[in-house]
Structure 1
Amino acid sequence: MGKLEEIVGKRCNGCSRPLDGLPSNLVKEALCLDCHRWEQDSDWKGILDHNHSFFHYNDFMKDYLARYKYRGDYALAQAFSHTIKLYLAKRKYDIIIPIPLNDERLYERGFNQSTALLEKAEVRPSNILTRSHSEKQSKKTRSERLCQEQVFQLTENVVKEKAILLFDDIYTTGTTLRQAAKLIKEAGAAEVSSLTLARG
Structure 2
Amino acid sequence: MMRWYFEQYKFNGGYHLRTIFAAELSQTLANKCLVPIPVTKHTMTTRGFNQTLGLLDDNLWIVEALRCKFYDKVAQSKKNRVTRLQTQQPFAVTGEVQAILDQPVILVDDVYTTGRTLYHAADCLHAAGVKNISSMTLAR
TM-score by length of 2: 0.90
* 2-structure distance, mates of 1:126, 1:115: 10
Percent of aligned pairs with the same residue? 37
**5+ residue gaps in structure 2?**
none
Q: Deviation of residue 88 (structure 1)?
A: 1.5
* 2-structure distance, mates of 1:155, 1:187: 10
The aligned counterpart of 2:83 is 144
Q: Deviation of residue 124 (structure 1)?
A: 4.1
**120, 131, 139: which one aligns with 1:190:** 131
The code of the aligned residue for 1:72 comes to G
**107, 121, 127: which one aligns with 2:64:** 127
TM-score by length of 1: 0.64
**Partner-residue secondary structure (3-state), 1:172:** coil
**27, 41, 57: which one aligns with 1:103:** 41
Q: Deviation of residue 161 (structure 1)?
A: 2.6
* 1-structure distance, mates of 2:36, 2:125: 13
Report Cα offsets for 1:40-79 as digits up to 9, x if no partner: xxxxxxxxxxxxxxxxxxxx11101111111111111111
* 1-structure distance, mates of 2:62, 2:101: 17
The code of the aligned residue for 1:140 comes to K
Query: Is 1:62–2:25 an aligned residue pair?
Result: no
Runs of 4+ in 1 over 4 A off after TM superposition: none
The code of the aligned residue for 1:109 comes to R
Query: Is 1:79–2:20 an aligned residue pair?
Result: yes
CA contact (8 A) 2:36 2:109 kept: yes
**163, 171, 175: which one aligns with 2:116:** 175
CA contact (8 A) 2:36 2:62 kept: yes
**5+ residue gaps in structure 1?**
1-59
**Partner-residue secondary structure (3-state), 1:169:** strand
Instruction: Select the structure of larger CA radius of gyration.
Output: 1
Q: Deviation of residue 87 (structure 1)?
A: 1.1
* 2-structure distance, mates of 1:72, 1:173: 25
**47, 51, 59: which one aligns with 1:113:** 51
